[in-house]
């Protein structure tokens, strides 16, 4: 196993400020990771405050258990299970929720997780290593059409079909079971790529997003966040990929507008239900100083919204 680098939390202060934390409030960190945001939230909470932190990764949960803070509740589950888990904890409403999407540095830098083509390792890519299908298992049975669809839809890979055919041809001689094998197949197939980008970047990203159902998880959790927020509670979401950010942007935009009714329906604007969200400021991006210190932060964008008194 390669050495695992320390995770550097992106938009740390900006994200905590976005939540407008009340000392006695109840907050959710949807992606504990290595606890950077959670620690900052806890430092802003008083003795009566509470933080509920979710993570799919057993290693992240193990890291969180080292904090030993009575105000912190760790939940080993995807954030899409937020409604069920909050109900089980007897928490009907919260004052804020932070979602820091994507993959963490420890997951990328631990060769055994199989998320990076920088190491030759088992082709796993699961965020939750305790359950679910690995990428190697899926590639062993997926059709060329299915592989093409995943690479195209989740990685925006223009050579998706050619790569899918190459994977199918390669597995005829034996399983595509390691990151090195997959990277070599893609590199041999993709002859041109953006300067400075490895030919396998989009394929690895697409397969990781697919196997973890990252976009579907996001689509499910956003309405749950709004449902559980108290009036004036904040939702802050940090995205690292255009597909994620598009989902967040559209959801917040739609939830901040009155319901769209047929044009000729005789209903006054004043009689329409109030929107459920109010957009807070413009999108936030890392400063030049943060990007220089942590290049992985360069694609991050945070969007913030506040719960209104509007009903469901």
- Number of CB atoms found within 10 A of residue 187's CB: 15
260 annotated as ligand-binding: no
Q: What is the pLDDT of residue 194?
A: 74
Under DSSP, the state recorded for 33 is T
At 1 the pLDDT is: 39
Which CATH code is given to the segment(s) 12-106+214-307?
Answer: 3.40.50.150
| Contacts of 245 by beta carbon, 8 Å cutoff, 6+ apart | 239, 301, 303
Residue 235 has a pLDDT of 98
CATH topology agreement for domains 12-106+214-307 and 129-211: no
Decide: 5 and 34 in contact? Cβ < 8 Å.
no
Q: How far is CA 274 from CA 196, 260, 263, 311, in A?
A: 48, 12, 18, 7
- Tell me: is residue 35 an annotated ligand-binding position: yes
Can you give the pLDDT at residue 312? 46
> Distance between alpha carbon 277 and the CA centroid of its chain, in Å?
21
100 is in an annotated binding site: yes
What pLDDT was estimated at residue 57? Answer: 93
Q: Residue 2: its pLDDT value, please?
A: 42
Find all residues with CB under 8 Å of 130, minimum gap 6, and list them. 58
Indicate left, alpha or beta for 11 from its phi (over 0: left) and psi (-120 to 50: alpha).
left
The tokens for 299 are 């694609």
Q: How high is the pLDDT of residue 272?
A: 63
From first to last of the 312 residues of the chain, give the pLDDT tens digit: 344 445 678 999 999 999 999 999 999 999 999 899 999 999 999 999 999 999 999 999 999 999 989 999 999 999 999 999 999 999 999 999 999 998 877 787 788 888 888 889 999 999 999 999 999 999 999 999 999 999 999 999 999 999 999 999 999 999 999 999 999 999 999 977 777 788 999 999 999 999 999 999 999 999 999 999 999 999 999 999 999 999 999 999 999 987 666 666 666 555 567 899 999 999 999 999 999 998 889 999 999 999 998 664
Q: Is 120 part of any known ligand binding site?
A: no
Q: What would the DSSP string read from start to end of 129-151?
A: TTSS--HHHHHHH--HHHHHHHH
Is the Cβ–Cβ distance between 29 and 51 less than 8 Å? Answer: yes
Per-residue model confidence (pLDDT) at position 48: 96
CA distance 201 to 118: 10
In the chain, domain spans: 12-106+214-307, 129-211
37 assigned to a ligand binding site: yes
Angstrom distance (rounded) from CA 229 to CA 20: 13
Query: Taking Cα atoms as reference points, which of 45, 184, 64, 173 lies closest to residue 123?
Result: 184
Buried b (16+ CB within 10 A) or exposed e, 18-39: bbbbbeebbbbbbbbbbbbbbb
- Joined tokens for residue 307: 């719960």
User: What kind of architecture, by CATH, is found in domain 129-211?
Assistant: Orthogonal Bundle (1.10)
How many Å apart are CA 175 and CA 166, to the nearest integer? 13
């Amino acid at each position: 196993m390669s050495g695992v680098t320390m995770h550097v939390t992106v938009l740390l202060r900006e994200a905590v400020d976005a939540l407008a934390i009340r000392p006695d409030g109840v907050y959710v960190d949807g992606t504990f990771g290595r606890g950077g945001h959670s620690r900052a939230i806890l430092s802003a909470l008083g003795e009566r405050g509470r933080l509920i932190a979710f993570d799919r990764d057993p290693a992240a949960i193990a890291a969180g258990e080292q904090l030993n803070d009575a105000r912190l509740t760790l939940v080993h589950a995807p954030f899409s299970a937020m409604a069920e888990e909050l109900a089980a904890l007897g928490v009907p409403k919260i004052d804020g929720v932070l979602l820091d999407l994507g993959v963490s540095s420890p997951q990328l830098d631990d060769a055994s997780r199989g998320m990076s083509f920088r190491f030759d390792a088992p082709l796993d890519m699961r965020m939750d290593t305790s359950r679910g299908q690995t990428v190697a298992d899926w590639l062993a049975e997926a059709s060329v059409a299915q592989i093409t669809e995943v690479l195209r839809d989740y990685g925006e890979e223009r050579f998706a079909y050619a790569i899918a055919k190459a994977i199918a041809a390669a597995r005829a001689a034996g399983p595509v079971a390691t990151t090195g094998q997959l990277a070599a197949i893609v590199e041999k197939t993709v002859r041109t790529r953006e300067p400075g980008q490895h030919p396998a970047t989009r394929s690895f990203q697409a397969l990781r997003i697919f196997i973890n159902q990252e976009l579907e998880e996001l689509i499910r959790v956003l309405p749950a966040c709004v449902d559980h927020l108290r009036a004036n509670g904040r939702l802050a979401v940090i995205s690292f990929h255009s597909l994620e950010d598009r989902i967040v942007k559209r959801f917040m935009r739609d939830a901040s507008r009155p319901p769209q009714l047929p044009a000729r329906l005789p209903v006054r604007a004043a009689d329409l239900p109030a929107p459920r969200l109010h957009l807070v400021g413009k999108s936030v991006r890392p400063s030049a100083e943060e990007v220089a210190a942590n290049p992985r932060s360069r694609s991050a964008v945070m969007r913030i919204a506040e719960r209104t008194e509007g009903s469901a």
